A and B are shown apart, each in its own frame.
Chain A
């Protein structure tokens, strides 16, 4: 089954304790992205990657790191989490064909992070 898998689905942790949210897709997609969803703000892009070893900042990259060592994986790292990073996080992926723009993103089920 084609899917984007995020883990964990839920996490409660404390300020300053490093954490990683994993994301893996089995559709051979070039484009992968992380978003955070907050009430009244919709989804905001944190980082995205056009291919292996290529990552770019989205609109809210501060406090986050990503890496793209393999095509299928795109982990999100919070080196020193703070309470303002409490949010619902989505990983997404898509193809980048010649047109590059018309591919819808496939989303994971989301990870709800609570930073105390």
Chain B
């Protein structure tokens, strides 16, 4: 069965510091994609970054990078130089390939608080 685990219900980080949000996954499908989304208090879901299972390099998008360790089945999100606007809920998600039926599953989320 496919599964996404986010073990940090809440985290605090000082403004301008880096923070890592953990995500581990489980799937038997060799082909899968991993996504991170941000949900501010206003409620909308915002796509941040994507990593494919066959990608050789870790994905980066501005201040966001994904620390992809395939053997450990982890896909941690790293936010560098945190800003007050980064305070939000963060979800890790996986979309598996053919054997996963192209379903998408999400983790329970991590609420990030950025302190001034």
Contacts and interface: CB of A to CB of B under 8 A. Distances in A.
Interface of A: 31, 33, 35, 40-45, 48, 50, 56, 58-59, 88, 90, 92, 99-102, 104-107, 109-110
Contacts of B25: none
Interface string B75-111: 0000000000000000101011100011111111100
Nearest to B91: A42
A116 B56 CA distance: 50
Q: Which one of A43, A59, A99, A107 has the highest number of Cβ atoms from chain B below 10 Å of its Cβ?
A: A43
Contact of B103 (A42, A58, A99): A58
A29 to B, nearest CB: 13
Contacts of A58: 103-104
A101 B54 CA distance: 11
A40 B45 contact: no
Contacts, number: 65
Interface residues of B, number: 28
B28 to A, nearest CB: 15
Nearest to B47: A104
B45 A101 contact: no
Contact of B97 (A50, A88, A100, A104): A100
A101 B33 contact: yes
B102 A48 contact: yes
Contact of B102 (A40, A100, A104): A100
